[in-house]
């Protein structure tokens, strides 16, 4: 799903109390490996967020031709991915 400039995890907080589980890490690596072309080589540091209600999100930034994209993988309480949202985070000079 593409959400343009709207940050789908606005209001969520960085989760300093936990880290992504092995299942989430494996899922994220699988997701990255399936990105098209050079996108998989231009991923940045990931953010682990919580909504405070049991859901988590892993935000994977990807830089492509002057645009920063956020790939947001949202997980339920059982670390099952329930949604993927891609949105434009901003632009940078090439």
Q: Looking at the domain assignment, is residue 63 inside a domain? A: yes
69 lies in which domain range?
13-91
Q: Indicate the pLDDT class of residue 72, thresholds 50, 70 and 90.
A: very high
Q: Looking at the domain assignment, is residue 1 inside a domain? A: no
| Residue 74: both structure tokens together | 């949202």
Q: Looking at the domain assignment, is residue 5 inside a domain? A: no
Averaged over 39-47, what is the pLDDT?
93
Q: Looking at the domain assignment, is residue 68 inside a domain? A: yes
Q: Indicate the pLDDT class of residue 2, thresholds 50, 70 and 90.
A: low
Q: Looking at the domain assignment, is residue 37 inside a domain? A: yes
Model confidence, pTM:
0.90
CATH number at residue 50: 3.10.450
Question: What burial letters (b/e) apply to 17-40, b meaning 16+ CB within 10 Å?
Answer: eeebeeebeebbeebbeebeeebe
Number of alpha carbons in the 13 Å side-chain half-sphere of residue 19: 2
Number of domains in the chain: 1
Q: Looking at the domain assignment, is residue 4 inside a domain? A: no
Q: Looking at the domain assignment, is residue 3 inside a domain? A: no
Say if residues 57 and 68 touch (Cβ distance below 8 Å). Answer: no
Q: Looking at the domain assignment, is residue 21 inside a domain? A: yes
Q: Give me the residue label for tokens 């059982």.
A: 78
């Amino acid at each position: 799903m593409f959400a343009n400039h709207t940050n789908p995890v606005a209001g969520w907080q960085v989760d300093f109390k936990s880290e992504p589980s092995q299942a989430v890490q494996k899922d994220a690596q699988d997701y990255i490996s399936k990105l098209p072309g050079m996108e998989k080589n231009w991923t940045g540091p990931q953010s682990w967020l919580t909504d405070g209600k049991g859901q988590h999100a892993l935000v994977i930034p990807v830089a492509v031709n002057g645009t920063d994209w956020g790939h947001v993988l949202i997980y339920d309480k059982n670390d099952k991915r329930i949604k993927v949202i891609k949105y434009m985070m901003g632009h940078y000079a090439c």
